[in-house]
Copies of this chain bind each other. A is one copy, B any other.
């Protein structure tokens, strides 16, 4: 078997620092477990713009399309805030998602036992939390046409974006939701605003049909997005898999991530359609952003990116054992009392990005 092709895109801000810690783990896998990757690295976001004049160069995209998996840090920062809309770091991220066809964004919101107290919510509300938010990632308001800003005859302006979903788009994300639920607690909650938005009436109707036709063994419920935001705060443990539209998913998954108090700990996976061998194009990235305010200070938490790499090993490379090893190492390091600043608690030892990365490797 030839070595798996892994493309690393550190991106901007703390993306670079946290990815350096993943590199240590990759080295360790090579030395100690004789696992070699066909590794390449590229630029995305502001750092790509600085070099190539675009947030995602064609060659980088080609590399991504040829890779077995992509590992991404984060993009964006004030340095690039005033670029024209189509040059912004975020366009690079949106383009790679779209071109790789990564319509399914898995965002687990889990609470690490050692970090229960880091949440702003009461421990009994979040302890043991383990829900999966599945966000549709290549449709909806993010990509719908027409879009743009036009100047009207009287000199005033009008800005437009379009929320659009087709039957097929809803069904394919629905299938991923039901399949995920089958491996979990067999409950899917589909979130929409079907009392106001026709587009999400379609969403709800197609989810209902799909469940009846293909997943009668999985329970399907529906919730309006405003209520879902409430229920996440009131009692997040009521959910198993939550599936929703791109923009709703952006908002709700960030809300859920913050509930856990473990934002710096949360990985995510973005998957495309399965090919004839059941393989999906895949990109893994931490849920947190590029955090420009703390970039370059060696204080960011590398664990979300390390755990994203573990997800990559598990889902894209079938390396269950290695994924388990890494996840266990992370838990042990936390139990040992090491903390980066974002998850610091009284009585624990505050360490740098580098020291945290080294500790995980030592634990391995």
Contacts and interface: CB of A to CB of B under 8 A. Distances in A.
Interface of A: 76, 85, 88, 90, 94, 120-122, 125, 141-142, 144, 147-149, 152, 156-168, 193, 195-203, 206, 225-227, 229-230, 232-235, 247-248, 250-255, 257-259, 263, 289
Q: Which of A149, A160, A257 has the most CB of B within 10 A?
A: A160
B263 A199 contact: no
Given A120-B234, A166-B157, A229 B201 contact: no
B142 A199 contact: no
25 contacts: A120-B233, A120-B235, A121-B122, A121-B233, A147-B198, A147-B199, A149-B199, A158-B164, A158-B165, A158-B166, A158-B202, A159-B201, A160-B163, A160-B164, A160-B199, A161-B163, A161-B200, A193-B247, A225-B250, A226-B254, A230-B254, A230-B258, A230-B263, A233-B258, A248-B251
Q: Which of A198, A200, A234, A253 has the most CB of B within 10 A?
A: A198
B229 A254 contact: yes
A120 to B, nearest CB: 5
Contacts of A166: 152, 156-159
Do most interface residues of chain A lie in helix, strand or loop, or is the interface mixed?
helix
A90 B194 CA distance: 10
Nearest to A162: B162
Contacts of A160: 144, 162-164, 198-199
Contact of A121 (B88, B120, B225, B247): B120
A157 B206 CA distance: 10
Question: Assembly of this chain: how many copies?
Answer: 2
B165 A163 contact: no
A156 B168 CA distance: 8
A158 B263 CA distance: 35
Contacts of A152: 166
A147 B201 CA distance: 11
A198 B90 CA distance: 13
A159 B149 contact: no
A298 B62 CA distance: 64
B142 A90 contact: no
